[in-house]
Structure 1
Amino acid sequence: MNVLEAYQIPILSLEDKVYQYSFTGNEEFFAAFEQEWVQKGEFNANATLDKSATMIQVRLVIDGHLKLICDRSNEEFEFPIHLDEKIIYKYSDHNEDMGDNLFLLDRKSPKLDLSQDLFDFIALQVPMKKLHPRFVKPLEEHVDGELIYTTDPEDDKNADQEPEMDPRWAALKKLTDNN
């Protein structure tokens, strides 16, 4: 049996109402995509499928972690993921990706395969620079979620003094001041 078949939902026999589905994934799921971007990790996904006569709306809530290799130390570490995404499938006479999580879905499609969408959402969580948590500076606690800009106190002392001018510029400035 193909590992990705577990992420397919039979939709032809569904009535127009809301359905709940749960999926789990691990290394076997990531290996099925034959790529090197994400190889290890585990996740739980809850899908809320709202079927109507003209479309299917799917809300995916994904929680889990990926095992990544730190770019700096080459150590493996767990990278937490939490996603809440919405996908809309509008019924049509053919399948087509319209972008921005909007798809045309052939009315005759017997199943809705969420495996690629799950993988894409998870893979997009992988940061460009993968750093072990010990290399990441913790964010300071902010009051009421506001971002507070702070400066180094040494910078305030130096702000009152004019920066020293390059002697070459100083010589040129003397020439312009004489006019």
Structure 2
Amino acid sequence: MKLLKEFTIQFVGLKLGKHQFEYKIGNQFFEHFEYDEFNDSNVKVAVELEKKTTLLELNFTFSGSVNVNCDLTNEPYNQPISNTFNLVVKFGQEYNNDETDMLIIPHGEYEINIQQYIYELIVLSVPSKRIHPGVEDGTLNSAILEKLDALSPEQQEPIESEEETDPRWDKLKKLLTDK
């Protein structure tokens, strides 16, 4: 996968301390990853990089909305999302991203690309079960909801009739009580 230049941070020329980076994420970003679950997206990502002498600390904060289809009605709606993530970048002998919140890069590196982290944060922030808010509060009028209601099984009232028992069991019960 080709790295997007706008998400590459060159940290060698930066002074020690905190630095701010802001990104606006739209559908073109997700098309780069060949991810087509979102109809539309409008997410603002703020990255605070704190450069220290031996490591880098990246704090990701994002909020916005993605337009997805409801799992019940297939109606599109805007799903609000927000999340934070902290990443520690250390220097070592070889590249290692086995840890979720720690990245080790070789000593000679001078830049880091954060596009994969932003992609995963946004995609994992969307709930796995997507339900239109109108379905939950009952304000959505949809032909699919009406059809689901029509096809749902009817609630049956419990039958309150006297139980008829098998006469063979009655004789066996009598054996227990006739001692």
* 1:128-174: CA deviation from partner (whole Å, max 9, x where unpaired): 21111112359xxxxxxxxxxxxxxxxxxxxxxxxxx9x79xx69x5
Looking at structure 2, the residues matched to 92 and 175 of structure 1 have their Cα atoms a distance apart, in angstroms, of 83
C-alpha change, 1:13 and 1:75, in structure 2 (3 Å) is same
Q: Counterpart in 2 of 1:82?
A: 82
Contact 2:3 2:113 in 1 (8 A): no
Q: Counterpart in 1 of 2:103?
A: 103
What is the TM-score with the length of structure 1 in the denominator?
A: 0.72
Q: Structure 2 matches for 1:1-179, cutoff 5 A? A: 4-38=4-38, 40-136=40-136, 174=173, 178=177
Looking at structure 1, the residues matched to 126 and 24 of structure 2 have their Cα atoms a distance apart, in angstroms, of 19
What is the TM-score with the length of structure 2 in the denominator?
A: 0.72
SS in 2 for 1:9: strand
The runs of 5 or more residues in structure 1 that have no matched partner are 139-164
Looking at structure 2, the residues matched to 90 and 177 of structure 1 have their Cα atoms a distance apart, in angstroms, of 78
Larger radius of gyration: 2
What is the one-letter code of the residue matched to 1:104? I
102-111 or 17-26, which deviates more: 102-111
C-alpha change, 1:15 and 1:129, in structure 2 (3 Å) is same
C-alpha change, 1:100 and 1:3, in structure 2 (3 Å) is closer
Between the two proteins, what is the percent identity of the paired residues? 19
Q: CA RMSD in A?
A: 2.9
Contact 1:68 1:78 in 2 (8 A): yes
77-86 or 128-137, which deviates more: 128-137
The runs of 5 or more residues in structure 2 that have no matched partner are 139-162
What is the one-letter code of the residue matched to 2:123? A
SS in 2 for 1:127: coil
Looking at structure 1, the residues matched to 69 and 98 of structure 2 have their Cα atoms a distance apart, in angstroms, of 34
What is the one-letter code of the residue matched to 1:50? E
Looking at structure 2, the residues matched to 119 and 133 of structure 1 have their Cα atoms a distance apart, in angstroms, of 25
10-19 or 77-86, which deviates more: 10-19
Aligned-residue offset at 1:48: 0.8
What is the one-letter code of the residue matched to 1:91? F
